[in-house]
Chains A and B, each alone.
Chain A
Amino acid sequence: MDGWRQNAYAEVDESELVRKIVEGDEAGFEYLVRRFGGRMLAVARRITGNEADAQDCLQEALLKSYSNIGQFQGRSGLNTWLHRIVVNVSLMRLRSQKRAREDSLDPLLPDFDGHGMRVGDAPIAGVEEIEEMYEQGRTRAAVRAAIERLPNDYRAIVIARDIEQLNTSETAQLLGISTSLVKTRLHRARAALKRLLDPVEI
């Protein structure tokens, strides 16, 4: 698209942009891709953990948003609406990915003695890297490294519940699992993350 035409769209408010796209304005859709695509790609990259999947998810999300743009009500901003679409697509992709090797969460869960009393946590391998990131002021990297250690099914639930703030039913519906499984996995994932991020001295 020509630069001057892009600038023209920058002056258009969101409801007008949506109206133009619904009416088949190709340049309007291209503007939407440029305006929101960078942020959506960053979100997909973060959730899927790899560039190729992120680009696929971005394309799927933008084509889906194009097909459904007539349903955009304007109750939330376009940015929020598109964010939700790319998150949903990326979480579904994450769930379908099978990683070559996934470590069990068991060593990351809290220990209790025979009477059900809490006992001190044994040292765990691999947290030095997370601690080092945090000491270097790389909090985001430390958090991402911790989340990355979760098996995909657990990671998807943490993202849906704790990062996207979906409730248990919404998460269960999105991921196609029962609410009790959402609760169980969320509990294990949170406990594991708490343990991994302990060196961060939160």
Chain B
Amino acid sequence: MMRYVPMMVTCKEAHGFLDDYLAGELPTKQRIVFDWHIKMCNCCKQYLDTYQQSIALCRDNFYDSEEDCEDIPEQIVQGIVAAKRTGGD
């Protein structure tokens, strides 16, 4: 039989703490509760790991790398230079 565990939260409640936890903005008491939940719950531990990794994956792969960027087409250069001369229209 499970004994009363102080400060226990459900997975759903812990899920709501995720972003503040990652931002380091979770108040101390909630952080302790969250840490405790993650220690006890493999599903949420795994979820937290992949959640963080998917954020990093997006950050690192959204833009083209510097070397993949093509030169700006000449037609566009001329269009912008002309627009500057006419005041941006």
Contact = CB atoms under 8 A, between A and B. Distances in A.
27 contacts: A26-B85, A29-B81, A30-B77, A34-B71, A37-B77, A37-B80, A38-B70, A38-B72, A39-B66, A41-B69, A58-B76, A59-B76, A59-B80, A110-B15, A112-B12, A115-B10, A118-B43, A118-B44, A143-B62, A146-B58, A158-B58, A163-B59, A165-B59, A194-B47, A194-B51, A202-B53, A202-B57
The 7 closest A-B pairs by CB, nearest first: A116-B10, A37-B72, A116-B12, A118-B11, A202-B53, A143-B61, A112-B12
Interface centre among B11, B44, B85 (most CB of A within 10 A): B11
B19 A183 contact: yes
A46 B63 CA distance: 7
B27 interface: no
A162 interface: yes
Nearest to A110: B15
A119 to B, nearest CB: 9
Report whether over half of chain A's contact residues are helix, strand or loop; otherwise say mixed. helix
A165 B51 CA distance: 16
B18 interface: yes
Nearest to A55: B76
Contact of B64 (A46, A158, A163): A46
B6 interface: no
A43 interface: yes
Interface in A112-164: 112, 115-118, 139-140, 142-144, 146-147, 158-159, 162-163
A42 B63 contact: yes
B83 A63 contact: yes
Given A34-B71, A144-B62, 12 more contacts: A26-B85, A33-B77, A38-B72, A41-B69, A42-B70, A46-B63, A59-B83, A116-B11, A118-B43, A142-B61, A146-B58, A190-B55
B19 A186 contact: yes
Contacts of A116: 10-13
Interface string B4-44: 00000011110110110001000000000000000001011
B80 A33 contact: yes
A202 B15 CA distance: 19
A89 interface: no
B84 interface: yes
A9 interface: no
Nearest to B85: A26
